[in-house]
Every structure is written in C-alpha cells, then in structure tokens.
C-alpha cells in the first residue's frame, strides 16, 4: 500500500521527523525540485528518489538511502540526473548496463547452475571444485575484465602445477561459462556484454595441450595380485569402509560400470529375484537393465546382509553414497604393485570382453555405449536375458585371471554377526 503526503520542502530536519507508515510505503515530494522525493517504508527505511518521464514512460530512479546519502547530496544527484535526461540520456538504462558490465565470474557461475537444471551431481561437484581451486582468485572479477592474456597465462600455470589434462579441463569449463554469459547477459539493444570468448585464444593459437586418451588397463597377469590386495582390504581393522570399498572395486571390474553409476546405485534398483539391476541415471541419460552374474549376485547378497543404507555402496558423507575412495585405492596399489584408476576397471572389463570375442553389439549394450551411427544396431533389441550369457562369459574369464576358485565362482567372505 502506498500513501501520499502533501509536497514539502525536503530538509534534513523534515526527513528526521518523518513518521513510519503502518504498512507499505509513503512518498513525500519536494516543492522546489520537481520529481525529487523521499520514500519511507514500513520498516523505517528512508531513501531518496527521482521520478521523471524517460522515453515516454515515467521512471523512478533510486538515488540512495538516508542517512548514508544526505539531503544535499541527494538533491545534487537529482540535479545531475535531470541534466543527463535533458540531453537524451537514460540513467536507468545506464545503471543497468553498468551493473551488467560488472557481472562477476561467481555471479555467472551461480546463474549457470540455476539455468542448467539437468547437470549431474558429479559434474556439478567438479565445476564447483574448479571454481574454488583453480579460479578462486577470479570469482569476484568482472567477466569483462578477464582478458585473453589472463586466460593463456592461467592455462600455462595450471598445466605446470596440476598437469596438462587438468589445465585443459579447467579451460573447457571456463569456455562453457563464457559461452553461457555471452547468451545470458545482454544490453537493451540485444548486444551481449561480452564481445567474444577469451578462451578462444587457446584455439586460435593452438595452445591446448595435446593429451592422449588414457588407454591403461589392468593386464591379465596383474589381476591376481590386484584381486588379492582387494580381498585383503576386507580385513583392514582401521576403517569400517574398507570392506565396502573392496566390494565396490570388484563390482566395477565385474560389471564395467562407470564409477558414478555404481556409487549411486540403490537397493531399490536391484532385483535379486530376477538377478538383474537397473541404471536409471546413466551418462547418455538412457536407463539400462543388466543381468547379475553369479559372482556379482553373491557379492551383493553378502553386502546386503551387513548394510542398512538405501545405497548399495553407502558413504559417510552428506551425499549418502561412496565418494572417491582414494586412500583405499592407494593401499591396494601399494599392496599389489599394480597402479590403476577407477576408470581403468571399466577399460579392463571391455578389454577382457573383446579378447573372448563378445559380440560388439552385446558389449556396447553392456557398457551402455550409443550406436547412433550404426544402422544395423538400430534393429537389434538387447534385452536383459540376451545379455546374461555374454555377461557371465566375461565374469568367468575375469575369475580365471584373478585365480578365484572357479567352482565357487566367489570367495565366501565372512559376514559379521550383529550383536
């Protein structure tokens, strides 16, 4: 609700005496300077405004709050703006333009996250980490002030300190953020506040690091010591998470899943009666149902007997599921003398499958790779039962290399009794 008070000559003593409206806001207009007024809200806040017709519409410009801005300062500011308007300038548009030009990297990132509602949790985690680790000193910088030279120097700095692949990753993220800003922040005439994306300097000068795609796998002769080290992790008395991490690593190897797909798997996604499980949130956003081999079925049964979380591989953090078990992975590397990453387990699964001549179509379906350019693949329907045999064949071959008792198919791990 807005109330109007008869015009008065606005002075400091008058503003000090102004009473607070019960609701809404009240305006007192100045008798000397047309358009100049003071506004009082129900919270008691007082501010100076200027009302003037600009481009055919009455605009209300806020000059500042009282007492931070004195009456005389506000009156001078009102005079100055009236002069600008008289020569055809639009102070409101200029103020908006100035605010847009000051859009910081952090502001752009926050808006980017709000707009891109379908970002996966892991992707969002990686982006936030880049903002807080790599671009922490740029967060409060205006995007218009981040130059091509700054980008080049930062790319080189990250490459020397954190590795070339990480430097490329960071700059691909920054490029995406600038592309978003170019489309998101425009002046009233439709022109972007940014003339171009400064990260394009890396492309124009061919400065991107050449990083070959990782091709590392656990070789067949390395699987036995690796497997033994993983099993020994189950006996680790230091951490209660160690046995869970061991099962997680085995699950990755024997299913070929991506680490995030396995980590976020819930018990509600698993059908032990049907011996199958469903991935609802995959990288290509297509749900996939896969069979459980004997080995994985037994592993999950043992895990279910000792777990009470909704997640199969529960974590101790806020997410609820397992996040980056670096300490346990490092311990396995030390015990087995086999260096590996979590994604190496997926590559190992695929390599073993190819070595025993699993159908290319079956393998692509098992690891959820798209076959968009293959016309024949479009006519093939691979349901869970048709995938059961190739999945079991891969499992058997892995067990041979791991030298697990082939009759039992899985070591019978002791299940702790609840007291």
Instruction: Give the angle subtended at the CA of 351 by the CAs of 349 and 355, to the nearest 5°.
Output: 115
Domain parsing of the chain, residue ranges: 2-90, 105-204, 220-402
pLDDT value of position 410: 39
Q: Among 370, 363, 362, which Cα is nearest to 386's? A: 362
Q: Among 143, 144, 149, which Cα is nearest to 201's? A: 149
Q: Fold for domain 220-402? A: hpI Integrase; Chain A (1.10.443)
Q: Among 217, 336, 121, 320, which Cα is nearest to 328's? A: 336
Q: What is the pLDDT along the chain (419 residues), one digit of tens a residue?
A: 566 678 889 999 999 998 888 888 999 999 989 999 999 999 999 999 988 887 778 888 888 999 999 999 999 988 888 888 777 777 666 566 666 778 899 999 999 999 988 887 778 889 999 999 999 999 999 989 999 999 999 999 999 999 998 999 999 999 999 999 999 888 766 778 888 999 999 999 999 998 766 668 999 999 999 999 999 988 776 667 889 999 999 999 999 999 989 999 999 999 999 999 998 877 666 778 899 999 999 999 999 988 789 999 998 878 889 988 988 999 999 999 999 999 999 999 999 999 998 888 888 888 876 655 554 444 344 578 889 999 999 999 999 999 876 444 433 333 344 43
Strand order in the sheet with 288-291: 270-271, 276-279, 288-291
HSE-CB at 361 with a 13 A cutoff on CA atoms is: 12
The CATH architecture to which 105-204 belongs is: Orthogonal Bundle (1.10)
Two tokens, residue 152: 């080049």
pTM confidence score: 0.58
Alpha-carbon distance of 108 to 102, in angstroms, equals: 11
Two tokens, residue 270: 């698993």
The CATH architecture to which 2-90 belongs is: 2-Layer Sandwich (3.30)
pLDDT value of position 300: 95
């Amino acid at each position: 609700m807005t109330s109007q008070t008869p015009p008065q000559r606005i002075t400091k003593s008058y503003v000090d005496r102004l009473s607070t409206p019960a609701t809404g806001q009240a305006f007192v207009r100045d008798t000397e300077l047309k358009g100049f007024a003071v506004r009082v809200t129900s919270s008691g806040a007082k501010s100076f405004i200027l009302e003037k017709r600009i481009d055919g519409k009455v605009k209300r410009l806020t000059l500042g709050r009282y007492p931070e801005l004195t009456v005389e300062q506000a009156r001078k500011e009102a005079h100055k703006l009236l002069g600008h308007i008289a020569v055809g300038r639009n102070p409101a548009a200029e103020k908006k333009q100035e605010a847009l030009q000051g859009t910081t990297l952090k502001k752009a990132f926050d808006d980017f996250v709000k707009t891109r509602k379908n970002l996966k949790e892991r992707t969002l985690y990686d982006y936030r980490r880049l903002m807080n680790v790599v671009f922490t000193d740029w967060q409060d910088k205006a995007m218009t002030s981040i130059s091509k030279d700054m980008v080049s120097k930062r790319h080189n700095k990250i490459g020397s300190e954190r590795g070339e692949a990480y430097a490329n990753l960071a700059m691909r993220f920054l490029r995406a953020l600038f592309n978003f800003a170019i489309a998101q922040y425009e002046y009233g005439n439709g022109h972007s506040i940014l003339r171009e994306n400064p990260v394009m300097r890396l492309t124009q000068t061919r400065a991107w690091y050449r990083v070959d795609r990782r091709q590392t796998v656990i070789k067949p002769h390395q699987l036995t010591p690796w497997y033994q080290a993983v099993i020994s992790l189950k006996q680790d008395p230091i951490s209660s998470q160690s046995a869970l991490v061991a099962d997680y690593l085995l699950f990755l190897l024997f299913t070929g899943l991506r680490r995030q797909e396995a980590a976020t798997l819930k018990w509600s996604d698993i059908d032990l009666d049907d011996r199958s499980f469903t991935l609802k949130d995959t990288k290509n956003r297509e749900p996939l149902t896969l069979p459980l081999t004997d080995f994985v079925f037994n592993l999950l049964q043992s895990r279910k007997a000792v777990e009470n979380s909704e997640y199969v591989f529960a974590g101790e953090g806020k997410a609820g599921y397992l996040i980056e078990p670096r300490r346990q992975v490092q311990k396995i590397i030390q015990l087995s003398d086999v260096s590996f990453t979590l994604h190496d387990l997926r590559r190992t699964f695929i390599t073993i499958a190819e070595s025993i001549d699993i159908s290319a179509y079956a393998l692509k379906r098992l690891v959820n790779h798209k076959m968009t350019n293959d016309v024949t693949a479009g006519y093939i329907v691979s349901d869970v039962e048709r995938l059961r045999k190739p999945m079991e064949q891969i499992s058997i071959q892995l067990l041979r290399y791991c030298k697990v008792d082939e009759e039992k198919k899985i070591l019978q791990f002791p299940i702790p009794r609840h007291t």
